[in-house]
Amino acid sequence: MPLDSDLWFRRYHNGPDAEIGLVCFPHAGGAANFYLPMSTALSTTTQVLSVQYPGRQDRHTEPLIDDIHRLADEVFEAFRPLADRRWAFFGHSMGATVAFEVARRLDDAGIPPVMLFASGRRAPSSHREERVHLLDDRGVISELKALSGTDTRVFDNPELVELILPLVRSDYRAIETYRPRSSVPLSCPIVTLVGDTDPLATRQEAEAWEQHTTGKFELHTYSGGHFYINDHRPKVIEVVSSALAAHTNGDFNGNQRVDSH
């Protein structure tokens, strides 16, 4: 990989040179290693890359990016040298929106991804007014606890809290101030996954992703909240694996609504 791609993408396993690879985009406050279990599970069939945003883990000294469009621009530029092969995108929460915007840029450049998996995020056209990024530290921490996506032991360590709060606030500012700039749908299929009690994405808001593709569409609903993915990881990985295999074989069905409990 070129140097810039090394900076932005983590490869935890040397997967096979399969026809389609998978690029994973983390949630707000998340890092590339959130997708280590997915990379492990798919390591014998699929090359998995995970995006590392600035300001976290090995990039902790770099300035944070609090604008989705600027973040997508930078990921897009880093990804271009890798676009000589076929890739699908998977994003959870904020990551789904970043993945969508990078896919938009690739579509405009004539090199679209083969599929977008949008997890735990309402469609770009389903706007809500949210202001978590404007809350005080206690308010932000309360939001994180409510979503159950952060190890609660973190909140007992003042030094860790001090480290993660600027990162989380920046990511929340990015996603809460995001507005799509184009209503033109993507050309690739979209597979949406959502928890049935997710406070940040209702089933109706998840279904609205269908408006953002001229290709096929699937919706998978799971029991659980915003981080349903932690409780249903094997099922989610199976959805991804099956969809990629079907697309490779030319028989991806799409246009389905599936409830998984």
d(CA 260, CA 231): 12
Sheet-wide strand order for 20-25: 9-10, 48-51, 20-25, 86-92, 115-119, 190-195, 217-222, 256-260
Residue at 32: amino acid letter: A
**What is the mean pLDDT of the segment spanning 84-103?**
96
DSSP state of 186: B
Please give the structure tokens belonging to residue 43: 């390591």
Per-residue pLDDT reduced to its tens digit, 166-181: 899 999 999 999 999 9
- Whether 27 sits among the annotated catalytic residues: the reply is no
d(CA 213, CA 185): 5
Given a cut of 50, whether residue 2 has pLDDT beyond it is no
Per-residue pLDDT reduced to its tens digit, 16-56: 877 899 999 999 999 999 999 999 999 999 999 999 999 99
d(CA 55, CA 243): 33
d(CA 219, CA 221): 7
Torsions phi, psi of 140, nearest 5?
Answer: -65, -45
- Whether 50 sits among the annotated catalytic residues: the reply is no
DSSP state of 209: G
Which CATH code is given to the segment(s) 3-128+184-260? 3.40.50.1820
Q: 39, 50, 93, 170: which is the annotated catalytic residue?
A: 93
Given 3-state DSSP classes, what are the helix, strand and coil percentages for the chain, each rounded to the nearest 5?
Answer: 45, 15, 40
Q: In this predicted structure, which of 53-57, 159-163, 191-195, 219-223 has the lowest mean pLDDT?
A: 159-163
Q: Are 95 and 88 in contact (CB under 8 A)?
A: no
d(CA 120, CA 196): 10
In this predicted model, which residue has the larger pLDDT, 225 or 254?
225
C-alpha torsion sign, points 249, 253, 254, 258: negative
Given a cut of 90, whether residue 250 has pLDDT beyond it is no
Per-residue pLDDT reduced to its tens digit, 50-88: 999 999 999 999 999 999 999 999 999 999 999 988 999
Per-residue pLDDT reduced to its tens digit, 100-128: 999 999 999 999 999 999 999 999 999 88
Domain residue extents for the chain = 3-128+184-260
Q: 133, 226, 232, 247: which is the annotated catalytic residue?
A: 226
Q: How many CA atoms, within 13 angstroms, populate the side-chain half-sphere of residue 100? A: 32
Neighbours of 29 (CB within 10 A): 23
How much is the pTM? 0.93
Q: What's the longest Cα–Cα distance across the chain? A: 52
